[in-house]
Amino acid sequence: MTARCVRGAETDPPPRSEPGLVVGAHGRHVVVETPDGTRVLCHPRGKKSELVVGDRVRWQITGDDGVVDGFEPRRNLLMRQDDWRTKSFAANLDQLLMLVAGEPVFSEAQLARALVAAQDAGIPALIGLNKTDLPVVVAARERLAPYRAMGVEVIEMALKADPAAARERLLPRLAGRTTLVLGASGMGKSTLINLLVPAAAAQVGEISRALAAGRHTTTTSTWYWLDEGRRGALIDTPGFQEFGLRHIAPERLAALMPDFAAALGHCRFHNCSHRHEPGCGVRAAVERGDISASRQRIYEMLYDELSRPRR
């Protein structure tokens, strides 16, 4: 990979649009990587919608920087929305890897929210259970049982305690794909990136340098190539506290939770909310134990949240 600085070139080619990939973003300013690996700070032309990491754009040089003058339709877009704003994580993803661990104890609600958002966006998700060297992994494994049962793949690993085994398990699942890595603080995202990404510090350094040239130092998400051939990539996201699902209507929630979706179609009322109506097939599934008590609690919490009038 080359990382040439294109600022101040004396023999600028005549302006024409070139293809590029957004590898870093700060508000409306983005770092675009060209097919030969050059990274350029670009600004959007006019009041275009916000670009995110993973967007495929057309851009051209204007003076020191670049201007984005178009972008390809997105295959998908993972976003979160709370009462105040919508935030996009990344676009054009092949899969989501949600990292969890027994210590610090992971939030099941946070996991469930991420999986609902991924399902809504049509992005396959897998769970990485890290820190299997710690005794608390037993409890974490139990809490993940409903997720395994509904068909979510759980990859167990000890990124720090047994990095070789973790690599061996992860690489076949990540090679050739674009994977967004999510996880609360302390789950092991940085450990994962440093283990799998050659010269991770250098890759992030190039993005920071390009942004710093425009006086923007932080990026919302960062793109890392996994291999020299630039086929597989990981996208790292800084810690997130809120994972709002405000963009999802409460009536759609059950269909986006695979264990609930499996129980749909047996309710007396077609517009059943699966909370207090008589003859509810979903609640029957809870009573049979097909849906776990914790998932039922999370469903109710999310349903209430999505039903509340917006502030």
Ligand X SMILES: Nc1nc2c(ncn2[C@@H]2O[C@H](COP(=O)(O)OP(=O)(O)OP(=O)(O)O)[C@@H](O)[C@H]2O)c(=O)[nH]1
Q: Least distance to ligand X from the beta carbon of 181, Å?
A: 9
183 interacts with, out of Zn ion, Mg ion, ligand X, none, CB within 5 to 8 A per kind = ligand X
Q: Whose Cβ is closer to ligand X: residue 224's or residue 260's?
A: 224
Of residues 184, 192, 272, 298, which one binds Zn ion by CB under 5 A? 272
| Closest to 45 (Cα-Cα) out of 24, 68, 12, 20 | 68
Residues near ligand X (CB under 6 A) are 130-131, 133-134, 158-161, 183, 185-191, 239
- Do the beta carbons of residue 26 and residue 65 sit within 8 Å? no
Tell which one of 34, 62, 76, 190 touches Mg ion (CB under 5 A).
Answer: 190
Among the residue ranges 137-145, 147-155, 181-189, 275-283, the one whose residues contact Mg ion (CB under 5 A)? 181-189
Class of residue 309 by CB neighbours under 10 A (exposed 0-12, middle 13-18, buried 19+): exposed
Among the listed residues 40, 256, 282, 298, the single contact to Zn ion using CB under 5 A = 282
Q: Which of Zn ion, ligand X, Mg ion, none lies near 293, with the C-beta cut-off 5 to 8 A by kind?
A: none
Main-chain phi, psi angles of 77, to 5 degrees: -150, 120
Size of the site for Mg ion (CB under 5 A): 2
Q: Is the dihedral of CA 7, 11, 15, 18 positive or negative?
A: negative
For the bound state, the minimum distance from the C-beta of residue 281 to Zn ion, rounded and expressed in Å, comes to: 6
Residue that has been written with the tokens 């998932």 in this structure: 295
* Alpha helices, DSSP H, located in 21-61: none
Residue 229 CB, nearest approach to Mg ion (Å): 26
Q: C-beta of 134: minimal distance to ligand X in Å?
A: 5
Here the tokens at position 227 are 């291999």
Element (H, E) at 234: strand 233-236
Residue whose CB is less far from ligand X, 160 or 209 = 160
Q: Tell me which residue of 95, 129, 93 sits closest to 111, measured CA to CA.
A: 129
Residues contributing to the site for Mg ion (CB under 5 A): 189-190
